[in-house]
């Protein structure tokens, strides 16, 4: 029997927190399905099964209570984030391998739940985009929702060249980086079929879904306001200054905020408690750092989006940020 | 009148469960229950040195008679709770989770409940030191639960007067209502006690802080202040949020001052006493009554939760028996659910620290779900009223990196339990801090023991060296003496030889002379 106080506790659990995070992803998933078809659901199912299977396997190898840890929901969060960051028509073995690596190597070889210094989904993304750059950049065109074709792309022979389309970030980077192109941001936006109102056809609405879910998580006090505000604020500030200075060379702040993985990063990646900074000031610094790196990678880097790389780079800095930003303790504020 | 209040960070709002025990007036336990068969009065009931027994088995004692003399100044006296015969002075189980025993005076009551002669203490004409001695000898200690000897706190501080004297009637722990009921039923004694403390500490103002979930107590206390025309005493309703009744938190809320760990609050011009302590100080000085009883709440898994005034040494189960513990009860907790201690047995005695006997059951306080790894969600840091990073302390404590734990202000932790209360991973965080603190204390003790041992060893070496040197000088001196003696003897024998030679010469001379004649 419990010997020491406190003898009662608030009714909260890790499982509850994780389930809320999953629930907050639902609006974006619904929009995803609307614009890009059911492939994303297949990917979510694949990554979920792979994550749970991998987690169960390694938990039993590590002699940990399988049922308790399997039901904590953390593996599912990793699985869903992988599904949502990978191209929905990526071959099944790609997402499954990525998920197994995330769970087994990045999470459990570092000690399991709560111990991993790097965001598992982001490591999986980086690894795969380095290993399979082509497959990781084959994104479906808006309206490519044919179920049979998607299933074939995931499980069968991949004849998908007609179905894929450069994402807005891709189009922008290619256009601006090709030396002979002399393209301008406005020119690329006008020419590209994938550009919607602000951040890319379909993608801007998915970003809206993440925003909605993220705001709900904030209201539920699962996540702090600090990382999303610092992330989006920094990203838009840098993008704003750059695009004001050279509108032909740099895309504007709203485009950056509503395209690629920005919203997902703002509300679901930088807010990961395990791999992010924990102090109030540290959260601001961490998310602002990710945002700055995202803009740099998007603008000058070799890859179109930079959420994953930026997150990992800032993950490395977390112990330092936390150490340097410990808030003053009661009674020691004037020290 | 509205006063500017301050805020402390963190805190939680647990279910308060106070209504149940507020229904009935405080009952004098002896008016409603038979006299216990024996009183087991632990000698060590306060912070500080354990008092030494002043009575022996077989002696008769009167109610209020001193039975435990304070051990130096940081200690407090202990008195007989009733008249009767001392059955034994022996080791008995203490009301503490550890299950350890300590020296107790066991009194078999004679039923007469006869007071020893006592008279009001003329504290106004006494020097501050004499008043403090009187409080110490009356056994007055903090009744909020910390049982710190009160006489050590009745101190105007370096500047000669306090800016603010805080009287703590916040009572933020769930289930406990003893201060609330005392404020409602016996406000005059508290206000008078506060006035005495005001005069003793030369306090410019006295603020009596009461959580705003006790509007009756606030109103009654305000009326009492007006009726008694108590000067410079103000009743302040403070927001209800656990642990608003922590001394540091209440001082912060009322004055904005944050008293750092290890600092005296008088250095900041403030001091804090519990309302019950103020009442006890009034009783000790104005009535001359030593502290032999207190008000306590019996709550939790009982049919009739209520408050009693109970003499120290009464077995807890005697008190609970009047409230009807439900059959599934499986434990007594001394104190509240947030900071209380589980008792090793139901028969342990009520002591000065017993503000509540919380009867628990598995249904009421279910065992926590299995402990999960920390996910660094930071809920604990948000809840910590000391602005600590509990998850970092947990990490360092678990890894036994005690230096780091201290760097992260482990000892500023007041063990209020907020962090463990909100932890989604069900980590018993406070247990880890208690462990780390006791390990650090043990190491420090070990270190000082080692230091002492080393000093002893070095002293021994030095002494041996000194002894050796002394012996050597002594021997040398002796040798020199012997030599001198020998030399003298030598010299003596030479003189003899000379004498003999002289005699022989004389004889020869005489012979020669004789032969010549």
Residue B170 belongs to domain with CATH number? 3.40.50.11540
Q: Is residue A223 part of a domain?
A: yes
Count Cβ atoms below 10 Å from residue B488 Cβ, excluding itself. 10
Residues B345 and B430 in one domain: no
pLDDT at position B517 is 47
List chain B residues with CB under 8 Å of A4: 97, 341-342, 428, 430-431, 434
Report CB contact under 8 Å: B389, A279: yes
Contact call for A273 and B423, based on CB within 8 A = no
* Tens digit of pLDDT at every position of chain B (517 positions): 578 999 999 999 999 999 999 999 999 998 999 999 999 999 999 999 999 999 999 999 999 999 999 988 899 999 999 999 999 999 999 999 889 999 999 999 999 999 999 999 999 999 999 999 999 999 999 999 889 999 999 988 888 899 999 999 999 999 999 999 999 999 999 999 999 999 999 999 999 999 999 999 999 999 999 999 999 999 999 999 999 999 999 999 999 999 998 888 999 999 999 999 999 999 999 999 999 999 999 999 999 999 999 999 999 999 999 999 999 999 999 999 999 999 999 999 999 999 999 999 999 999 888 999 999 999 999 999 999 999 999 999 999 999 999 999 999 999 999 999 999 999 999 999 999 999 999 998 888 888 888 888 888 889 888 988 988 898 888 888 888 888 777 776 677 777 777 777 777 777 666 555 4
Note whether residue B457 is domain-resident.
Answer: yes
Q: Is residue B292 part of a domain?
A: yes
Q: Which of A4, A13, A74 sits opposite B428 (nearest CB)?
A: A4
Q: How far does chain B reach from its first CA to its final CA, in angstroms?
A: 144
Let me know whether A87 and A174 are in one domain.
no
Same structural domain, B329 and B450: no
Chain B residues in contact with A73 by the CB 8 A cut-off are none
Q: Which residues contact A323 (CB under 8 A, 6 or more apart)?
A: none
- What's the pLDDT score for residue A166? 73
Exposed/middle/buried for residue B18 (C-beta within 10 Å: 0-12, 13-18, 19+): buried
Whole-number pLDDT of residue A182: 66
Residue A176 belongs to a domain: yes
- Give pLDDT, residue A197: 66
Interval A39-68: pLDDT, tens: 999 999 999 999 999 999 999 999 999 999
Judge if B397 and B331 occupy the same domain.
Answer: no
Q: Is A38 on the interface with B (CB under 8 A)?
A: no
> Is the residue at A333 inside a domain?
no
How would DSSP label each residue in B280-345?
A: HHHHHHHS-----EEEEEEEESBSS-EEEEEETT-BHHHHHHTT-B-TTEEEEEES-TTT-EE-S-
In a domain, B348, yes or no: yes
Q: In the structure encoding, which two tokens stand for residue A46, read together?
A: 């694949």
Task: Show residues of chain B in contact with A115, CB under 8 Å.
Answer: 373
Strands B101-109 and B164-168: unpaired
Q: What is the ipTM of this complex?
A: 0.90
What's the token pair of residue A311? 């997150």
Are B250 and B275 in contact by the 8 Å Cβ rule? The answer is: no
Q: Are B14 and A10 an interchain contact pair (Cβ–Cβ within 8 Å)? A: yes
At B434, is the secondary structure helix, strand, or coil? helix
Same domain, A256 and A219: yes
In this structure, the answer to whether residues B400 and B328 fall within a common structural domain is no
Structural domain contains residue B78: no
Same domain, A155 and A179: no
Does B325 share its domain with B381? no
Structural domain for B143, as ranges: 19-34+136-358
Q: Are residues A177 and A317 in the same domain?
A: yes
- Cβ–Cβ below 8 Å for A3 and B381: no
pLDDT of residue A303: 83
Provide the CA B390 distance to its chain's centre, in angstroms. Answer: 26
Which of A7, A9, A329 is facing B333, going by the closest CB pair? A7
Pair (B431, B467) in one structural domain: yes
- Please count the structural domains in chain B: 2
- Distance from the A5 Cα atom to the nearest Cα atom in chain B, whole angstroms: 5
The pLDDT score that the predictor gives to residue A1 is 55
Q: Residue A1 domain-assigned?
A: no
User: Which residue from A minimizes the CA distance to B377?
Assistant: A273
Q: Are residues B140 and B183 in the same domain?
A: yes
Q: Which residues of B touch A218 (CB under 8 A)?
A: none
A331 assigned to some structural domain? no
The two tokens of residue A256 are: 């950056």
Is residue B238 reached through a cis peptide bond, with omega within 30 degrees of 0 on the bond before it?
no
Query: Looking at CA atoms only, how far is residue B117 from chain A in angstroms?
Result: 42
Based on the fold, state whether residues A20 and A103 are members of the same structural domain.
yes
B258·A9 Cβ contact <8 A: no
Closest-CA residue of B relative to A112 is B373
Residue A37 and residue A82 in one domain: yes
Confidence at residue B294, expressed as pLDDT on a 0 to 100 scale: 97
B104: phi then psi, degrees, rounded to nearest 5: -130, 150
Same domain, A223 and A274: yes
* Residues of A whose CB is below 8 A from B408: 326
CB contacts < 8 A, A to B, total: 138
Q: Is residue A268 part of a domain?
A: yes
Interface test with chain A among B376, B391, B416, B420, by most A beta carbons within 10 Å:
B376
> Could you list the residue range(s) of the whole structural domain that residue A42 is in?
13-165
Q: Are B421 and B347 contained in the same domain?
A: no
User: Which residues of chain A have a pLDDT value below 70?
Assistant: 1-3, 159-163, 178-182, 191-199, 334-335
Cα–Cα distances (Å) from A330 to A327, B26, B384, B429, in that order, read 10, 37, 10, 19
> Left if phi > 0, otherwise alpha if psi is -120 to 50, otherwise beta: which for B326?
beta
Q: Indicate whether B323 and B218 sit together in one domain.
A: yes
Among candidate residues A165, A186, A217, the one where a domain is terminated: A165
pTM of the complete model: 0.87
| Residue B211 to residue B197: CA distance in whole angstroms | 21
Nearest to residue A236, comparing CAs of A292, A167, A307, A171? A292
Count structural domains, chain A.
2
């Amino acid at each position: 029997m419990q010997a020491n106080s406190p003898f009662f506790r608030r009714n909260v659990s890790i499982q509850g927190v994780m389930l809320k995070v999953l629930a907050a992803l639902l609006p974006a998933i619904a929009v995803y399905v609307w614009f890009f078809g059911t492939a994303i659901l297949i990917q979510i199912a694949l990554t979920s099964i792979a994550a749970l299977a991998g987690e169960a396997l390694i938990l039993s190898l590590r002699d940990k209570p399988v049922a308790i840890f399997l039901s904590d929901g953390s593996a599912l969060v990793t699985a869903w984030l992988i599904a949502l960051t990978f191209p929905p028509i990526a071959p099944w073995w790609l997402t499954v391998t990525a998920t197994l690596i995330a769970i087994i190597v990045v999470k459990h070889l570092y000690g399991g739940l709560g111990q991993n210094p790097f965001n598992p989904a982001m490591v999986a993304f980086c690894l795969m985009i380095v290993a399979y750059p082509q497959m990781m950049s084959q994104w479906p065109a808006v309206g490519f929702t044919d179920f049979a074709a998607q299933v074939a792309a995931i499980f069968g022979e991949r004849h998908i060249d007609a179905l894929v389309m450069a994402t807005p970030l891709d189009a922008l980077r290619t256009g601006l980086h090709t030396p002979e192109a002399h393209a301008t941001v406005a020119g690329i936006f006008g020419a590209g079929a994938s550009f919607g109102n602000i951040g890319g056809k379909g993608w801007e609405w998915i970003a809206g879904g993440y925003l909605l879910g993220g705001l709900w998580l904030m209201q539920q006090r699962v996540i702090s306001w600090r990382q999303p505000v610092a992330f989006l604020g920094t990203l838009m500030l840098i993008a704003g200054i750059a695009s004001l200075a050279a509108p032909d060379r740099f895309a504007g702040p709203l485009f950056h905020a509503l395209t690629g993985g920005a919203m997902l990063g703002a509300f679901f990646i930088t807010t990961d408690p395990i791999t992010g900074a924990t102090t109030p000031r540290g959260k601001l610094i961490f998310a602002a750092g990710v945002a700055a790196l995202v803009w740099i990678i998007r603008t000058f880097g070799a890859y179109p989006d930079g959420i994953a790389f930026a997150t990992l780079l800032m993950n490395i800095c977390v112990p330092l940020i936390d150490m340097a930003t410990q808030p003053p303790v009661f009674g020691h504020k004037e020290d | 009148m509205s006063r500017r209040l301050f805020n402390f960070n963190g805190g939680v709002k647990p279910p308060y469960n106070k209504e149940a025990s507020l229904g009935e007036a405080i009952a004098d336990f002896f008016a409603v229950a038979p006299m216990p068969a024996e009183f087991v009065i632990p000698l060590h009931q306060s912070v500080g040195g354990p008092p030494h027994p002043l009575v022996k088995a077989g002696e008769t004692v009167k109610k209020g008679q001193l039975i435990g003399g304070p051990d130096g100044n940081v200690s407090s006296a202990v008195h007989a709770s009733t008249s009767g015969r001392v059955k034994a002075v022996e080791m008995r189980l203490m009301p503490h989770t550890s299950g350890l025993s300590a020296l107790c005076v066991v009194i078999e009551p004679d039923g007469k409940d006869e007071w020893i002669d006592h008279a009001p203490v003329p504290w106004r004409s006494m020097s501050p030191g004499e008043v403090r001695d009187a409080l110490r000898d009356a056994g007055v200690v903090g009744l909020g639960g910390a049982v710190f000897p009160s006489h050590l706190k009745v101190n105007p501080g370096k500047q000669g007067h306090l800016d603010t004297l805080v009287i703590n009637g916040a009572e933020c722990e769930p289930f406990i209502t003893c201060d609330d009921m005392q404020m409602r039923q016996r406000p005059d004694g508290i206000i008078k006690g506060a006035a005495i403390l005001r005069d003793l500490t030369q306090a410019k103002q006295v603020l009596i802080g009461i959580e705003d979930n006790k509007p009756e107590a606030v109103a009654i206390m305000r009326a009492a202040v007006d009726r008694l025309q108590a000067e410079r005493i103000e009743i302040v309703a403070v927001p209800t949020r656990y642990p608003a009744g922590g001394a540091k938190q209440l001082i912060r809320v009322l004055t904005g001052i944050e008293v750092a760990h290890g600092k005296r609050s008088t250095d900041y011009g403030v001091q804090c006493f519990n309302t019950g302590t103020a009442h006890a100080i009034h009783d000790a000085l104005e009535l001359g009554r030593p502290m032999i009883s207190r008000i306590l709440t019996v709550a939790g898994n009982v049919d009739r939760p209520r408050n009693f005034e109970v003499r120290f040494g009464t077995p807890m189960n005697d008190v609970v028996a009047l409230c009807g513990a439900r059959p599934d009860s499986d434990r007594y907790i001394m104190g509240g659910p947030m900071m209380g201690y589980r008792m090793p047995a139901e028969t342990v005695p009520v002591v000065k620290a017993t503000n509540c006997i919380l009867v628990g059951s598995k249904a009421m306080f279910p065992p926590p779900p299995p402990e999960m790894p920390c996910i660094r969600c930071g809920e604990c840091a948000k809840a910590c009223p000391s602005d600590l990073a509990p998850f970092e302390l947990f990490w360092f404590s678990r890894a036994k990196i005690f230096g780091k734990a201290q760097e992260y202000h482990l000892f500023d932790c007041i063990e209020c339990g907020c962090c463990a209360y909100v932890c989604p991973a069900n980590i018993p965080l406070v247990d880890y801090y208690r462990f780390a603190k006791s390990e650090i204390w043990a190491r420090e003790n070990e270190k000082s023991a080692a230091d002492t041992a080393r000093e002893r060893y070095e002293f021994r070496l030095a002494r041996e060296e000194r002894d050796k040197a002394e012996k050597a000088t002594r021997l040398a001196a002796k040798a020199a003496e012997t030599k001198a003696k020998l030399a003298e003897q030598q010299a003596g024998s030479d003189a003899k030889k000379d004498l003999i030679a002289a005699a022989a010469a004389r004889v020869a001379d005489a012979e020669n002379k004789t032969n010549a004649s």
